[in-house]
Amino acid sequence: MTTIFDKIINGTLPAEKVFENERILAIKDIHPVAPIHFLIMPKKSIRDLQSVKSEDLALIGEMVQVAQSLAVKYDIVDGYRLLTNSGPEAGQSVFHLHFHLIGGRRLTHELG
Ligand code: DGP
């Protein structure tokens, strides 16, 4: 299935990019919930966290490293949240794996 994020990755839809290499893209979320709200995604089509296979684990690790370096670059190392919604019951709305990197304000404990 082609998602909005596939179109952003292949350049047919615009997005504000904050990081890109051959494997990973990070963009600003269109509906930010905090001053910093980025979406870090693999360019490979993976539906959700539940679909990650063992051969994808290096990619997942690299996505975490991208989150760490963006946290440094955007000065949020004192506190940020890195999360993914896996599946519709968790609120996933775009079915291309992505991590939300959220910070830049004091975050409450409400996750649900
Ligand atoms: P989730 O609900 O976890 O699947 O998160 C999807 C996020 O994607 C949501 O926070 C809004 C964001 N989003 C949806 N469409 C677009 C878009 O076209 N551009 C950008 N930058 N973000 C989008």
Digit-coded pLDDT (tens) for 85-101: 999 999 999 999 999 99
Query: 46 in a domain, yes or no?
Result: yes
Q: What is the DSSP letter of 99?
A: E
Between the CA of 100 and the centroid of ligand 1 the distance, in Å, is 9
What's the whole-number mean pLDDT along residues 25-47?
98
Query: 51 in a domain, yes or no?
Result: yes
Ligand 1 proximity of 12 Cβ (cutoff 6 Å): no
Domains held by the chain: number: 1
DSSP 71-111: HHHTT-TTSEEEE---SGGGT--S-S--EEEEESS---S--
Query: 92 in a domain, yes or no?
Result: no
Per-residue model confidence as pLDDT tens digits over 45-58: 999 999 999 999 99
Annotation marks residue 98 as catalytic = yes
CATH number at residue 8: 3.30.428.10
Query: 42 in a domain, yes or no?
Result: yes
- Give the range of the structural domain holding residue 26, as residue numbers without chain letter: 4-80
Query: 35 in a domain, yes or no?
Result: yes
pTM reported for the whole predicted model? 0.97
Q: What is each CA distance from 81 to 6, 33, 76, 97, in whole angstroms?
A: 24, 12, 10, 16
